Amino acid sequence: MTNPKLTAGGKFPDITLPTLGGGTANLTATTNDSNWKLILVYRGKHCPLCTKQLKELKDYIADFKEAGVDVIAVSGDDKEKATAQLADIEPNYDVAYDLSIEQMQSLGLYISDPRSPQETDHPFAEPALFVVNAEGNAQFINIANAPFLRPDFKSVLSGIGFVRNPDNNYPIRGTRAYA
Q: What is the DSSP letter of 29?
A: -
Query: Does 111 score more than 70 pLDDT?
Result: yes
pLDDT in tens, 122-131: 999 999 999 9
pLDDT on residue 114: 87
Whole-number mean pLDDT of the chain? Answer: 94
What structural domains does the chain harbor?
Answer: 34-165 (3.40.30.10)
Q: How many CB atoms lie within 10 A of CB 2?
A: 6
Percentage of the chain modeled with pLDDT above 70: 97
- Sorted by sequence, the CB contacts under 8 Å of residue 64 that are 6+ apart come out as 38, 70, 71, 157
Closest to 163 (Cα-Cα) out of 124, 143, 137, 144: 137
Mean pLDDT value of segment 2-9: 77
Reported as a pLDDT band with limits 50, 70 and 90, residue 178 is low
Q: In terms of DSSP bridges, do strands 94-96 and 69-74 run parallel, antiparallel, or are they unpaired? A: parallel
The Cα–Cα gap between 73 and 56 comes to 12
In contact, 140 and 161? CB cutoff 8 Å:
no
pLDDT on residue 176: 85
Distances (CA, A) of 84 to 24, 39, 89: 19, 21, 10
pLDDT in tens, 130-169: 999 999 999 999 999 999 999 999 999 999 999 999 999 9
Mean pLDDT value of segment 92-101: 97
Q: In terms of DSSP bridges, do strands 111-112 and 16-18 run parallel, antiparallel, or are they unpaired? A: unpaired
Reported as a pLDDT band with limits 50, 70 and 90, residue 69 is very high
Q: Where are the alpha helices (DSSP H) in the chain?
A: 48-58, 61-66, 79-87, 101-106, 153-164
pLDDT in tens, 11-26: 999 999 999 989 999 9
- Sorted by sequence, the CB contacts under 8 Å of residue 176 that are 6+ apart come out as none
